[in-house]
Structure 1
Amino acid sequence: MRKCKKEVVPIQQAVGHIAATSIIPYPPGIPLIFEGEKITENHIEQIVSLKKAGAYFQNDKDLLKNGLEVFKMQ
């Protein structure tokens, strides 16, 4: 999958796409989404909830503003 093209999509449009990077909130520091995993509505709800609660994400990603990096669907 590493050779697949990637794109960034708005977080609300990411459902059904395949994550191109792992999403790791801190705390707790446990991956919420692994690279290669299909993104679900539940994932999006958890990301939004964690951001509102003040969680940080690995690499200081502002997921709500910038979106999620996914593998390009063909």
Structure 2
Amino acid sequence: MEYLYLVALLIFLFTFFMFRSPRLNNPEHVLQDVGDEVLILHTPLARLWPSQGKRINKQSAARIQHADNIITVFN
């Protein structure tokens, strides 16, 4: 039973680190310029494995809106 508590604690600490880490959550890691496309890494898990991010063409982005900590891309 103690192992279950240990595993739960490790999962909690790993998740907390992923969502609070300044290394994973800075703007350079969230939006990446890849040639004619922009790679959007919208979750901390996608920032660890960039293949899970979403790519959009720069020409298809009609408008980019910035409000507080939220960036919205309209295409």
- TM-score, reference length from structure 2: 0.27
Of structures 1 and 2, the one scoring higher in RCO (CA 8 A, sep 6+) is 1
- Larger fraction in helix: 2
**Which structure would you say has the larger Rg?**
2
- Larger fraction in strand: 2
